[in-house]
Structure 1
Amino acid sequence: MARKQHLRQFLGNSVWSGLSTVARAGSALVVNKLFAVYYGPQGITLLAHFQNLIALLTTLPNSGINVGLIRHLAQHEPQSQQYRAYFWIGLLLNAATFLAALGAIALFPAFFLERFANDLLPQTSISTLGILLGLFVLLLLQLFWLAVLLAQQALRPYVYLSILTSIMGIGITWWAVGRVELPQALVLFLTGQSISGVVGLGVVAYKGLLPKWQYAWTPKVSKDLGKFLLMALSTLVGAKLIDFLVREMAIQQFSLVETGLWQSVVKISDSYTLVYVSILGMVYYPKIASLLPQPQSLRDYVKSVFFLLVPALGVGLLFFWWQRDFFIRLLFHQEFLPARDLMDFQVLGDFFKMTAWVLSYIITVQARVKLYILTQLGSGLLYVALVAWLMPLLGVEGLPMAHTLRYGVYLVFHLYLFRSYFSKP
């Protein structure tokens, strides 16, 4: 009976998650298609590199501070003292972590900005730099507003704001491609992602979720959010920075075109992964957070969701692999068809990864900082080692094979760690 109730609740809440996900995934697919058609594999490579650069600047605020805010804001009413403390300290920590990430990139400009720095950041143009920083600030605000809405389960405004972001992103990119050079198109892509940061402020205020200003640096609040910041730091290094490094290794080993073929496979993977992550983030994560005080109910819920999602994942990914030529033509262009041979190991690795995520979210919500850091850094270092070993031996094919081996180990580790969730009481 409890399992049926868990499944009904999970599927019901997934409807709103699905609307938001369709908007975000659809936007990503259209943007990828536009860059593929107008700029070819080289455009896909630099788009992926630029998106990765955005992720390096926003991972600590969004995947660290905001994830902690969702957990803690959800436990307090907007009029409470605790809510105000978490809200304003969270916003200040967003700004501080963004500036720290920006400073780290500024220390190593040759590594992070080499591929597009001359066009995006001309040394004589202070105004261009100011515009870029302003766009990043708006993007950070948008992500913060979404976290506040999600914490209070305000799913309708969350979805509407996500849809607005998607529409603006598509519209501006559609206008830009073919009219401007590739680097300028990347800046306009960022513009489309950032504009709703202003609208989000109005939405949050209208919903009564914008508390009065309070400056009181509470040690407990800082410690609570700091745990999630440490976990995000390991994600930044073990995932985002590693992805940037591996792509740079591929560009140096091959070419922008060959790397673009591999990146087209990764971007298709990112598109259906986005759907999955959105469901987990909007429905699964808040639910397991609420079940933390009830260990047996938590186990029952995780087990129910696990055995619902894993077979569905297998069927969906198998269908996608079977129709991979169709999806490559649909989402990119005919000239990307040589990438079909890279799909085999990419899809298998994605199945391992997405299955493991059902369990890895438990580590996040429990704020098991040391274990989370160990898994993220260990997984990232394993991936780099596998890439360095397989890429010279197998060429581009070694990249998706390294992806599969990495997440195969990742899944086995989590299945062992949470084996008690699947054993009979």
Structure 2
Amino acid sequence: MIRHFKKIKSSSLLKIFSLTGISVLIKLISSYLIVKLLAILVGPGGIALIGQLQNFTSVFTTLGAGGINNGVVKYVAEYKNDKTTLKQTMSNGFKITIYFSCFVGIVICLFSSFLSRVILFDEHYYYIFIFFGISLILISANNFFISILNGFTEFRKFVIVNITTSILGLIFTVVLVLCLDIRGALIAVVTYQAVVIFFTLYYIRKLFWFKKSYLWGLWDNKTVRKYATYSLMALVSAVTLPVSQLIIRGFLVDSYSLKIAGYWESMNKISSLYLLLFTSTFSVYYLPKLSEIKEESQLRREIFKTYKIFTPILLVGLCTIFFAKEFVINILFTKDFNPMKALFFWQLLGDFFKIFSWIIAFIMVAKSMSRIYIFTEIIFSVMLTLLTYLLVIQNGLIGSVQAYCINYFIYFVTMLLVFKKLLFKKIG
């Protein structure tokens, strides 16, 4: 037992989890300060509006990058020792990013008034979308460069960039919120990643791949087709969950009020804060690792090793948050958010199933299993929306988190069934 614990303790996954934890801790503190400031200044209704805009920007940030960032991580990890293929992969990826971000940015600017009315329920905020359209090329380029660092498994550099961008993003957001209130918060949501690219460029300027030969070569149709699989997967993923959240939030606003929708959004924000530690580790270590593995037995070992490490951490973390929920609400928000307490049990249980399912589901991304990935993303986003409608009508706001829990439990079972041969195949 002791030897088993020492083996886990010395594993590279736990080391990366710990290293990533430093980055995530800084990001958590930054996010906490921003959320706390917003909770005090704009209340639950303002939090709901910001959630609307964040869902929108997540969709169009992925569209603006051509949906290739996971593909960049995979192919840089796969071809990092093949200089010729690596140049083709990176240069074509950068071209796709620039072309898509320019096109999508122009479209957002042209339809800014319409988008303001649909997303923020008021045409007066049209300038927010113009800011976003102009910023999109810088945001997309920043995410592309960070994906390259991830693909090269430059964990320390990746962590340093993330820590610095979190701090810069915090300063930028706080200044705008204090100066412009809710308008400043909305502007910060759509522009802060455009500001942090200048640090990223400074930091990577001396790396061997940051030169024209790697970033702007000849167009290669074969490479573009390989990226197309990831584009389709990423675009479906980018659209499905945020769009379902936009629909659910709109339904809660129509059925109850912006304030009630703000409680639901605030519960999502709490989840996203602590889940960041797991999702960051998956992106930084787990995806490149799964992409490199060729043998089924080795893949199975990596999956079960991840479960062994993450299960106790997840259980302890979720139980702590549940029993300290009132403290968490008061620390993160204000006493006005106390009605959220009823949402914690089902939300945290849903998060447990979400992480357990993601550990398996990442295989679909790492191995370019586009058909099953797209099918499950669409089906479970639609299911989440329908379940929320049904259970909110029946049980009120608590039905929204019950629907979330049921949806991810079914998703976890589905992942077990999809990969049952890989996971439960007898060895020897």
- Name the TM-score, length of structure 2 as normaliser: 0.90
Q: Displacement, 1:419?
A: 2.4
Map 1:120-269 → 2, pairs under 5 A: 120-122=125-127, 131-213=131-213, 214-269=216-271
Which residue does the alignment assign to 1:306?
307
The answer to which of 334-343 and 175-184 deviates more is: 175-184
Unaligned runs of 5+ in 1: 123-127
C-alpha contact (below 8 Å) 2:104/2:133 kept by paired residues: no
C-alpha contact (below 8 Å) 1:78/1:211 kept by paired residues: no
The answer to which of 194-203 and 408-417 deviates more is: 194-203
Structure 2 Cα separation of the partners of residues 258 and 105 of structure 1: 31
C-alpha contact (below 8 Å) 2:76/2:152 kept by paired residues: yes
Which residue does the alignment assign to 1:118?
123
Which residue does the alignment assign to 1:46?
49
C-alpha contact (below 8 Å) 2:112/2:130 kept by paired residues: no
Structure 2 Cα separation of the partners of residues 20 and 398 of structure 1: 34
> Do structure 1's residue 408 and structure 2's residue 409 form an aligned pair?
yes
**C-alpha distance 7-252 of structure 1, shift in aligned 2 (>3 A):** farther
Which residue does the alignment assign to 2:70?
67
Q: Deviations over 1:67-125 (max 9, x none)?
A: 10111112334882222221121122223444565548966964664316534325xxx
C-alpha contact (below 8 Å) 2:131/2:191 kept by paired residues: no
Q: How many residues align?
A: 419
Q: Displacement, 1:211?
A: 3.4
Q: Displacement, 1:184?
A: 3.1
C-alpha contact (below 8 Å) 1:78/1:208 kept by paired residues: no
The answer to which of 177-186 and 96-105 deviates more is: 96-105
Structure 2 Cα separation of the partners of residues 78 and 31 of structure 1: 41
1:10 pairs with 9, 13, 16, which one?
13
> Do structure 1's residue 92 and structure 2's residue 89 form an aligned pair?
no
Structure 1 Cα separation of the partners of residues 302 and 233 of structure 2: 24
**C-alpha distance 104-283 of structure 1, shift in aligned 2 (>3 A):** same
**C-alpha distance 82-315 of structure 1, shift in aligned 2 (>3 A):** same
Structure 2 Cα separation of the partners of residues 418 and 93 of structure 1: 32
Q: Deviations over 1:246-269 (max 9, x none)?
A: 212222222111111111111001
Q: Displacement, 1:204?
A: 2.3
**C-alpha distance 424-314 of structure 1, shift in aligned 2 (>3 A):** farther
SS at match of 2:368: coil
**C-alpha distance 62-348 of structure 1, shift in aligned 2 (>3 A):** farther
Structure 2 Cα separation of the partners of residues 73 and 247 of structure 1: 38
Structure 2 Cα separation of the partners of residues 234 and 310 of structure 1: 29
C-alpha contact (below 8 Å) 1:7/1:305 kept by paired residues: no
Q: Displacement, 1:130?
A: 5.4
Q: Deviations over 1:337-387 (max 9, x none)?
A: 111001111111111111100000011101011000011001011111112
Residue 395 of structure 1 aligns to which amino acid in structure 2?
G
Q: Displacement, 1:423?
A: 4.6
Structure 2 Cα separation of the partners of residues 218 and 176 of structure 1: 43
1:270 pairs with 266, 272, 280, which one?
272
C-alpha contact (below 8 Å) 1:140/1:197 kept by paired residues: no
SS at match of 1:64: coil
C-alpha contact (below 8 Å) 1:204/1:210 kept by paired residues: yes
Q: Percent identity?
A: 25
C-alpha contact (below 8 Å) 1:165/1:194 kept by paired residues: no
Structure 2 Cα separation of the partners of residues 341 and 140 of structure 1: 38
SS at match of 1:157: helix
Which residue does the alignment assign to 2:38?
35
Q: Please tell me the root mean square deviation across aligned C-alpha atoms, in Å.
A: 2.5
C-alpha contact (below 8 Å) 1:105/1:112 kept by paired residues: no
Residue 172 of structure 2 aligns to which amino acid in structure 1?
I
Structure 2 Cα separation of the partners of residues 105 and 384 of structure 1: 29
Larger RCO of the pair (alpha carbons < 8 Å, separation 6+): 1
SS at match of 2:212: coil
C-alpha contact (below 8 Å) 2:361/2:415 kept by paired residues: yes
C-alpha contact (below 8 Å) 2:350/2:404 kept by paired residues: yes
Structure 1 Cα separation of the partners of residues 208 and 335 of structure 2: 50
Which residue does the alignment assign to 1:361?
362
**C-alpha distance 305-129 of structure 1, shift in aligned 2 (>3 A):** closer
